[in-house]
Structure 1
Amino acid sequence: MDRPLGVILAGGQARRMGGGDKGLLRLDERSILDHVIERLSPQVDAIGLNANGDRTRFADTGLPVFQDSIDGFPGPLAGVLAGMDWAHDQGASMIVTIAADTPFFPGDLVARLMSQYSEANPIVLAATRDEAGKLWRHPTFGLWTVSLRDDLRKALGDGLRKVVLWTDQHGATEAEFETTPIDPFFNVNTPDDLVEARRLLETA
């Protein structure tokens, strides 16, 4: 099975951070996005970036940048669809999505997502358990079959926004990850989160 293409989702509006691009915030001498690209590059055949607005702000990454095809910031599924369309143009059959503000995701993320893939389970989402043992999906970290793109486009056009309502229709399953010593899906949403990320960088 060929490796998927990687799609970094940076299309959000970062309201809790006061706007702007969370991925461009500095974590050390580099941006959060630089850390994300470094972790993702060895796991996929190529990387694209889903981001809205002026593409030139990401010129330093050297990555292809593509916007949501659905207006109004409808959420992460719009970024997934944009990634699927980009991958389809490259002749790829699968993508793996990554959040642009999550610099500590696992180095074996793609391999473990792909290990749970089957024709019956064409979508595989990363998941972790909380202290009570409840399983939580992380829908911005997933393996997606590109052939579902027209179905997703129709669902978004019909007003669907909640990820689980669409993924459950298509046999989505999970790949479970540990949260120790740190939560690999910790994301930078607030200024306090950025302070914590800088602390975690020393142990990641």
Structure 2
Amino acid sequence: MSAATGHDHEAGDIPATLITLGVLAGGQATRLGGVDKAWMERDGLPQVLRWQRRFARETGAMLVSANRHLSRYEAAGLHAVPDRIAGDFGPIAGLDALLGHCRTPWLLTIPVDLVGVNDCLLPSLSSGRSDHGAFAHDDDGPQPLVALWRVGTVSPAVSAAIHRKETAIHALQARLGMAGVRFEGVRFGNLNTPEDLRAAGFFVDAPRND
């Protein structure tokens, strides 16, 4: 497993124009009463727009895996893509949708409900990747959804996994031999409970019916 820090890791060699940011926002947030995490606000900025700004200089395009409030994304100038497969497949369905619409050779995925990432995330994943990509490993353990994927080779593997009803992302990455890149002293954090939201300073907007 590769090691990475925010100070001594050189930038990766993939130009921004060859990378699409894919934000996974298709979950139902049952522990938060079904609130749409993409539109939770901190300091007046919705979470999904925070990620757009964060990676604007490091990626050439952005997609959002989302299954509701699609008109809200359109109004914000974002390209939202719903799941292409029916059934409860979890995050792999969102990954499948992102891969299906990605027009660059590389896809960087992050869950919309991460609290934050360090500045060297993408350069570290790029530098530490194997042939099919890399995923992050922070102080809380492997983070399979924080990952850099080679679209051309990963797409058929995801389709095959869905066909076999094998939905675990970490198992897919192990099968592909994707590298785990260690981020020492880093915790990305997740927004799963009301306590998480309060600790991170979020305001939860009322859900819309569009």
The normalised TM-score by structure 2 is 0.82
| 1:77 pairs with 2:54 | no
1:115, distance to aligned residue in structure 2 (A):
0.5
Alignment-mate amino acid for residue 146 of structure 1: V
Aligned to 1:171: 177
Alignment of 1:121-136 (within 5 A): 122-130=132-140, 136=141
Q: In structure 1, what residue type is equivalent to 2:112? A: A
Q: Is the 8 A contact 2:130 2:179 kept in 1?
A: no
Match of 2:114 among 87, 94, 102: 102
- Identical-pair percentage: 28
- Structure number having the greater helix percentage: 1
Q: Which runs of 5+ in 1 are unaligned?
A: 131-135, 200-204
Query: With CA pairs under 8 Å and 6+ residues apart, which has the higher RCO, 1 or 2?
Result: 2
TM-score of the superposed pair, with normalisation by structure 1: 0.84
Report the number of matched residues: 186
Is residue 2:95 matched to residue 1:44?
no
1:58 is matched with: 73
Q: Write out per-residue CA displacement over residues 45-69 of structure 1, whole angstroms, 9 at most, x where no aligned residue.
A: 1111110134112234311110111
SS in 1 for 2:43: coil
Give the superposition deviation at 1:127: 0.6
Structure 2 stretches lacking a partner, 5+ long = 1-13, 203-210
Partner residue of 1:156 out of 151, 162, 167: 162
Q: Which secondary structure state, in structure 2, belongs to the residue aligned with residue 41 of structure 1?
A: coil
Corresponding residue for residue 194 of structure 1:
197
Instruction: Report what 1:142 is aligned to.
Output: 147
What is the root-mean-square deviation of aligned Cα atoms in Å? 1.7
Counterpart residue number, 2:43: 28
Q: Distance in 1 between matches of 2:90 and 2:190?
A: 16
Question: Does 1:6 pair with 2:12?
Answer: no
What is the deviation of 1:156? 0.7
